[in-house]
Structure 1
Amino acid sequence: MILTERLQTIATMVDKGSVVADIGTDHAYLPVFLIQQGICGKALACDINPLPLEKGNQNIIFNHLQDKIETRLCDGLNGIGEDEADTFIMAGMGADVIIHILSSCEYIANEKYTLIIQPMTRYYTLTQWLYKNGFEIKEQKCTHEGKRPYTIMKIKYTGKKTPYTESDLYLGSMDTSDEECKIFLSNEIRKLNKRVLGEKGLEEVINVLEEKVNDSK
């Protein structure tokens, strides 16, 4: 299985020996790869829609992994038992959807779980929710797929709320010396410059992000 840069980066953040539940699995590319590479011994491939889940099932069968990957038709984490996985991947969906999924699951606020999350939109709103609800970003990487940059967060629950400034929500735990992170933040700066006339306080955020990007060059 050959993955895109985005999915490959997500795969590098999965701890060896994890039992993964891939939420919104689509074609189940990630669970198949994780099993093939020996990173995981078993996995759940989950989706809310039957058609992509069936495509994922076909891919699992094609790779002879029916005994290691189970498909699950479910809405977010609903329908997944609290002892069925220790790592939950949520990639390719908006921040609001991810927040809804996490808010709807009572057991997810537990340090035994690892969350690997790749929001497609408004990642800073997700960062704010995490900080307010006792989750810590342990690792944050940036990558690209085609011309579009992405950020991926590896998260653990600690129960401690994280104080933050507005710029902290955009920086998260990124390594601003990393070239992919600089590209990602530069793209965010361009977006913020388009919003700055209509929203108060963004000038300071832009200045902080520009300083971080420029200082690391």
Structure 2
Amino acid sequence: MTLPLSPVLDARLQAVLELIQAQVHADIGADHAHLPIRLLLEGRAQRAVVVELNPGPLAQARRHVVRAGLDGRVEVREGNGFAPLQAGEVDSASLTGMGTGTIVGVLQRAGAKLPPVLVLQPNDSPRSIRQWARVAGYHLMAERLTPGYWTYPVLRLERAAGPDPAYLGLPEKAALRYGPHLLREASPLLLQQVREDIVRLAPLAAPGRNAEGELATAHEALRVLEGSE
């Protein structure tokens, strides 16, 4: 009996994989479909829906799903964002490898189709994702930083009522910029990032400029991180 082909994931997608456990998971903008394939092969999801807009990656995703022997459990749909899904069809969704602004735009347009769990991997600062989550009724349950071409953040959000307890007792601007869980864990990658931000911002931080506020936020984060060491 031939075993299904198990694709290799890079560090950022491996971090995403480890934050997903679902019955039915949707991977939005799935590209090659390696993530949903691994989710099913490892028992982290029972079924998956792959959504891809571009014809080339869409065809590639379909080939990879068939090659893995999962075409009965993974459905590949053409479309933009959550548009090809029905409300309540999936209980978890991931968006990876996109800019933060693109991810927030997709989430804002999803409306009632948003599932109760989201795992997101933006390619830049996730501050606006954290801000969106607080307004949209999602709590930040876990965060990861992974090395790569640059440092990639990964966030797991879960729908919940009331204020998000992850931010309690932390300076708000620093927590939104750098991540409350990462600050509490004193992530070495985050510590390196914050110190690099301070070096980069210090010469730009004239009074009244945006860099002045960003530098103050970085110093707040550094105090939390150094206090956690």
Kindly name which structure, 1 or 2, has the bigger radius of gyration based on alpha carbons: 2
Q: CA 1:106–1:205 in 2, change beyond 3 Å: closer, same or farther?
A: same
2:220 counterpart residue number: 208
Q: Which amino acid aligns with 2:116?
A: Y
Structure with a larger share of its residues in helix:
2
Aligned-CA RMSD value: 2.2
1:65 counterpart residue number: 70
Q: CA 1:216–1:100 in 2, change beyond 3 Å: closer, same or farther?
A: same
Unaligned ranges ≥5, structure 1: none
1:144 to 134, 142, 147: 147
Shift of 1:3: 1.4
Contact 2:50/2:77 (<8 A) preserved = yes
Matches within 5 A, 1:14-93: 14-15=20-21, 17-93=22-98
Counterparts of 1:81 and 1:192 in 2: how far apart (Å)? 45
Structure with a larger share of its residues in strand:
1
TM-score (norm 1): 0.87
More divergent stretch after superposition (167-176 vs 37-46): 167-176
Contact 1:135/1:161 (<8 A) preserved = no
Cα displacement string for residues 20-61 of structure 1 (whole angstroms, at most 9, x for unaligned residues): 100111100001101111211110111121111111111111
More divergent stretch after superposition (185-194 vs 74-83): 185-194
1:3 counterpart residue number: 9
Q: Which amino acid aligns with 2:83?
A: N
Contact 2:85/2:113 (<8 A) preserved = no
Shift of 1:178: 4.5
Matches within 5 A, 1:133-172: 133-145=136-148, 147-160=149-162, 165-172=172-179
Unaligned ranges ≥5, structure 2: 1-5
Shift of 1:159: 4.6
Counterparts of 2:125 and 2:144 in 1: how far apart (Å)? 16
Q: CA 1:129–1:56 in 2, change beyond 3 Å: closer, same or farther?
A: same
TM-score (norm 2): 0.83
1:187 to 183, 193, 196: 193
SS in 2 for 1:88: strand
Q: CA 1:97–1:85 in 2, change beyond 3 Å: closer, same or farther?
A: same
Shift of 1:64: 1.1
Contact 2:178/2:190 (<8 A) preserved = no
Q: CA 1:50–1:185 in 2, change beyond 3 Å: closer, same or farther?
A: farther
Q: CA 1:50–1:159 in 2, change beyond 3 Å: closer, same or farther?
A: farther
Contact 2:118/2:158 (<8 A) preserved = yes
Q: CA 1:42–1:108 in 2, change beyond 3 Å: closer, same or farther?
A: same
Counterparts of 1:152 and 1:53 in 2: how far apart (Å)? 24
Query: How many residues in Structure 1 have an aligned counterpart in Structure 2?
Result: 212
Contact 2:100/2:129 (<8 A) preserved = yes
1:13 counterpart residue number: 19
Counterparts of 1:155 and 1:97 in 2: how far apart (Å)? 17
Counterparts of 2:127 and 2:195 in 1: how far apart (Å)? 13
Q: Which amino acid aligns with 1:186?
A: Q
2:125 to 122, 127, 132: 122
Q: Which amino acid aligns with 2:181?
A: M
Cα displacement string for residues 138-161 of structure 1 (whole angstroms, at most 9, x for unaligned residues): 11122223x522111111122535
Contact 2:99/2:122 (<8 A) preserved = yes
Counterparts of 2:16 and 2:105 in 1: how far apart (Å)? 21
Shift of 1:190: 2.0
Q: Which runs of 4+ in 1 moved over 3 A?
A: 159-164, 175-179
